[in-house]
Amino acid sequence: MTAAADGYGRDLDPLSPLTREQFTRLDRAGRFDAPGAGGVRIVSGEAGREALGTRVRFELRVDGERVLEARFQAYGCPHTLAVANWLAGEFAGRRRDALLPGAPADWAVRFEVPVPKLGRLLVVEDALRACLANWPGPVQ
């Protein structure tokens, strides 16, 4: 997909290349059917409300203190979905005590999120923190 230009060679695409790539792929969207075998379980957390424009839910397939893989469901703008998709990909192999790859401010820079949309990334972070709160057992 190519972006439109304004006649002066300026790109009119409101999405950064990374945002567009993640948003058009969304390969980590969805839910898990079953936890798996042994001690594998699903940990989930969500935040936001569709009525307010953003809702995000993460599901982590975990074994002990480690994330095996992650999925998400989201209602929101392309930036919200792109960041959620990228984050779900970043979780595989991470330990519970190192789950978050940076902070919303870091994600905003990486994905070139416009300032008026920064609050949506806080909803994404809240959903991740809800996962951590719902992850049974003490943090090692």
pLDDT digits (tens, 9 = 90+) for 39-86: 789 999 999 999 999 999 999 999 999 999 999 999 999 999 999 999
Contact indicator for 58, 124 with CB cutoff of 8 Å: no
H/E run at residue 17: helix 17-25
Q: For residue 57, is it within any domain?
A: yes
Q: For residue 49, is it within any domain?
A: yes
Contact indicator for 75, 55 with CB cutoff of 8 Å: yes
Residue 13: CB atoms within 10 A of its CB come to: 13
CATH number at residue 39: 3.90.1010.10
For the whole model, what pTM was predicted? 0.86
Q: For residue 140, is it within any domain?
A: no
Residue 115: pLDDT above 80? yes
Number of domains in the chain: 1
